[in-house]
Structure 1
Amino acid sequence: MSSERPGVRIIAIHGKTPQIHETAFVAPGCVIVGDVTIGAGSSIWYNCVLRADVSRIVIGERTNVQDGSVLHCDGPHPGMEDGAPLLIGDDVLIGHMAMVHGCRIHDRGFVGLGAIAMNHAVIASDAMLAAGAMLTEGKVMGERELWGGRPARKMRDLDDAAIMGMRIGVAHYAENAKHHAAAIAQGDGAA
């Protein structure tokens, strides 16, 4: 695990320091705070905030969190002694400007552009929360389901083509992260 990243603010708090796998890409402009774990091959894109100051954030392998997204969790309080950690599996896509808070996203889940997922909500494997949708507290999406709207509700089941499209997106971000990491290391685009 590595803690040095050019242009990234990595902040320890309450005795917890972010743990970022050496193969993960974290773009300049990101702020990573507290009890955060980022797995191998994952990518955190420009200007994201991951703040685990009251509970933990765990991100699996090959997951991407796209530009401007905010990830947070909720600490323990009466009636919720374990709080609401944010637990994200492997091969997950989180679209630009998403707000993901204290929920669970299983392997290969998808959060669309500008979507919101709230405490204790669950996005199952191969499920998609549509762009702009709001998955309210405690709602549970089933596998291969598409949910949309505010509040989000099930719209339909996803076909094999949609599932394949999400997997192609994961592969694209994993490859593109390597190009961005190389460009940053070489100083490309520096003013």
Structure 2
Amino acid sequence: MLYEHLGARPRIDDTAVVAPTAVISGDVEIGPNCQVLHGAVITAEGGPITLGEHVIVMENALIRATAANAVHIGDHTLIGTLASIAGATVGEEVFFASGARVFNGSIVGARCEIRVNAIVTRRAVLPEGAVVPIGWVAAGDPVQLFSPDQADAIAAAQPDLDFPGHVFGVDRDTPDLMVQLTERYGSSLARHADDQAV
């Protein structure tokens, strides 16, 4: 399904194939010869999303842009099943295995591999050709790789981790943090009530 959101409609090259059960919403540009498979969601929540040429988005993958963080996916990139990319810049010829997660403000260089269930944390910068092993975490700039049992080291490697502040504009020390966060975010998401199928 294609949706106009915030006055922007998806733009899909004539040679791209989008499954009828995929959802493409808002300011999304899908380039030549791309494939977007069943259940995939590509949603521009205030920021644009661009997919280059020959990008493959597998079943149930999620690509999401925000007003603070646009998304760009380089040519010949494969985004595996259940992978998630939020507000990131991705180079050409990148492989995201099943369950890979990439967070806001991160940069993934050309020809990187983000393997099964690996995580690229917010604002991490992966140089060209980097590999994040199965289940591992990439954090920081310059990037460091951690096994998942190194929670303290992962936290220390991330600059200014303030996720509620960076993504939602809510101070982490707010006494009613989740109330503020859900009300603000819910209000923003409620703008989908005016979306139009195209």
Using the size of structure 2 for normalisation, the TM-score is 0.68
Q: Deviations over 1:47-93 (max 9, x none)?
A: 11111131111000001010000110121xxxxxxx10011010001
| Residue 103 (1) aligns with residue 88 (2) | yes
Contact map agreement 2:137 2:145 (CA 8 A) in 1: no
Out of 24, 28, 52, the position equivalent to 1:32 is 24
**Could you tell me which residue of structure 2 aligns to residue 45 of structure 1?**
37
Identity of aligned residues (%): 28
Q: Give the secondary-structure state (helix, strand or coil) at the position aligned to 2:50.
A: strand
- Residue 135 (str. 1) matches residue 127 (str. 2): no
Corresponding position of 2:70: 85
Does the 8 Å contact 1:145/1:154 carry over to 2?
no
Task: Give the Cα–Cα distance (whole angstroms) in 1 for the partners of residues 57 and 18 of structure 2.
Answer: 10
Change (3 A) 1:87 1:119: same
What is the aligned partner in structure 1 of residue 5 from structure 2? 13
State the Cα RMSD in Å.
1.3
Name the amino acid aligned to 2:137: P
Match of 2:196 in 1: none
Offset from partner CA, 1:113-150 (integer Å, 9 cap, x none): 11100011111111101110110001111111111334
Contact 2:136–2:145, Cα closer than 8 Å, also in 1: no
| Larger Rg, first or second structure (1 or 2) | 2
User: Cα distance, 1:154 vs. partner?
Assistant: 3.9
Using the TM superposition, give the Cα deviation of residue 23 of structure 1 relative to its aligned residue in structure 2, in angstroms.
Answer: 0.2
Q: How many Å separate the matches in 2 of 1:154 and 1:125?
A: 18
State the partner residue of 1:126. Answer: 111
For 1:150 and 1:134, locate their aligned partners in 2 and report how far apart those are by CA, in whole Å: 6
Counterpart-to-counterpart distance in 1, 2:113 and 2:136? 15
Shift of 1:21: 0.3
Counterpart-to-counterpart distance in 1, 2:114 and 2:5: 32
Counterpart selection for 2:137 from 145, 151, 154: 151
Deviation at 1:151, TM superposition (A): 2.5
